[in-house]
């Protein structure tokens, strides 16, 4: 439900840019560990830029603002549907690549493991949500 008395915590408002920053730092660490500083710096700048762009967009875009404060149920529903669509596309790509690998005489790695992870995640989520709702 959406009500005006619902306070939006700073943790909620900064979740997306925060995750973007964490991923950026992870890119940097990965680049440094792999002796590819350019990749690390580019990844950090890219993710910080994406997070900053999201925060700026929330000033003029109702959709971005809704994704930031999470109080609008319609935007949240759209976000869930978009996430589902993105997940289905990734799973479909994994399955196609798995079959391509098998057709080429390979063992299907890493797509077989990724597909199994997707299937397992679905079953665990289904079971968890089944008992919660």
Segment near another protein (CB under 8 A); pick from 72-80, 92-100, 112-120, 123-131: 72-80
Contact present, 71 and 2 (Cβ < 8 Å): yes
User: What angle in degrees, to the nearest 10, is found between the helix axes of 73-103 and 111-132?
Assistant: 150
Nearest residue to 43 via CA among 57, 56, 30: 30
Q: Binding pattern to another protein, positions 8-47, x when CB under 8 A?
A: ----------------------------------------
Closer to another protein by Cβ: residue 6 or 53: 6
**Residue 97, exposed/middle/buried by CB under 10 A (0-12, 13-18, 19+)?**
middle
The residue within the footprint of another protein, chosen from 13, 72, 79, 101 (CB under 8 A), is: 72
Q: Binding pattern to another protein, positions 84-123, x when CB under 8 A?
A: ----------------------------------------
Contact present, 73 and 45 (Cβ < 8 Å): no
Residue 1 within binding range of another protein, rule CB under 8 A: yes
What does the binding site for another protein look like in residue numbers (CB under 8 A)? 1-6, 62-63, 65-66, 71-75
């Amino acid at each position: 439900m959406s009500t005006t008395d619902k306070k939006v915590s700073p943790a909620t408002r900064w979740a997306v840019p925060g995750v973007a920053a964490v991923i950026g730092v992870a890119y940097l660490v990965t680049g440094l560990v792999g002796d590819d500083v350019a990749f690390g710096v580019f990844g950090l700048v890219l993710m910080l830029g994406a997070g900053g762009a999201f925060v700026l967009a929330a000033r003029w875009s109702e959709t971005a603002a809704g994704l930031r404060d999470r109080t609008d149920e319609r935007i949240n529903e759209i976000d869930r549907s978009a996430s589902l669509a993105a997940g289905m596309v990734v799973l479909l790509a994994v399955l196609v690549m798995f079959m391509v690998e098998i057709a080429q005489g390979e063992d299907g790695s890493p797509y077989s493991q990724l597909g199994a992870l997707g299937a397992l995640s679905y079953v665990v989520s289904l079971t968890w949500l089944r008992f919660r709702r």
